[in-house]
Amino acid sequence: MTALVLFLGIAMLTSCSFPTRTGYSRKLGAYKPVPAAQKTAEAAPSAASATTQTASADTTKKVANPATQPAPKKSTAPVKQQTKASGGKKYATLKEYTDSWKGTKYVYGGSSRKGTDCSGYIMNVFRDFYGVSLDHQAAAIYKDTRFTQVSRSSLKEGDLVFFGDFWGISHIGVYLSDGNFSHASTSKGVMISNLDEKYFNSRYKGARRLIR
């Protein structure tokens, strides 16, 4: 009986074998080297995968992010510049303009219809009627190089007439016609006087005409 059991055990060991890993050689006692063709075949998928990844990366680089692209320049139509007519004339004649100032009281240093001195008044006349800016000082206007000297006998409308004393120019007016001129008097405000009046005749210092 014992001999029979031993025989059956040997038979089972002989007929049964453990699964062996592919490429294992019982003679060599180790795994067989993988053939070169098989290595190439196995490496091919990896190379193809790497190529695909590289191409994908290149494509990603070439695709620009819309958010980083500069916005297209908008075409704008040229803006038309508007120009204002110089002078800002509201009155047909100089006499009409100066008459609108009649009665404005004299205020030293003033230059408005609420109150003005002589040079402040002339500043308004030339700015509003002729579009010319002047200094707020009679002596400075007398030396203004934009004006040329004219004789008393050749006075025309718009010429500036100056008055003063030993110390220099102290008063200014604008000539109208027939010896009359408009000015801001210290006692009566804006009014019209005549060059032949004793006070102004004795203090007359000359006249200037704007060069145009």
Query: Given 98, 104, 111, 118, which residue is catalytic?
Result: 118
From the candidates 117, 171, 184, 189, which is the catalytic residue?
Answer: 171
Q: Please state the length of the chain.
A: 212
- 204: nearest Cα among 158, 176, 173, 178: 173
DSSP E strands: which ranges in the chain? 24-25, 30-31, 111-112, 115-116, 147-150, 160-165, 168-177, 180-185, 189-194, 204-210
Quote the tokens at residue 185: 């008097």
Annotated catalytic residue 183: yes
Report CA-CA distances (Å) from 149 to 115, 123, 130, 168.
Answer: 30, 19, 19, 16
| Identified catalytic residue from 129, 183, 190, 207 | 183
Cite the active site residues: 118, 171, 183
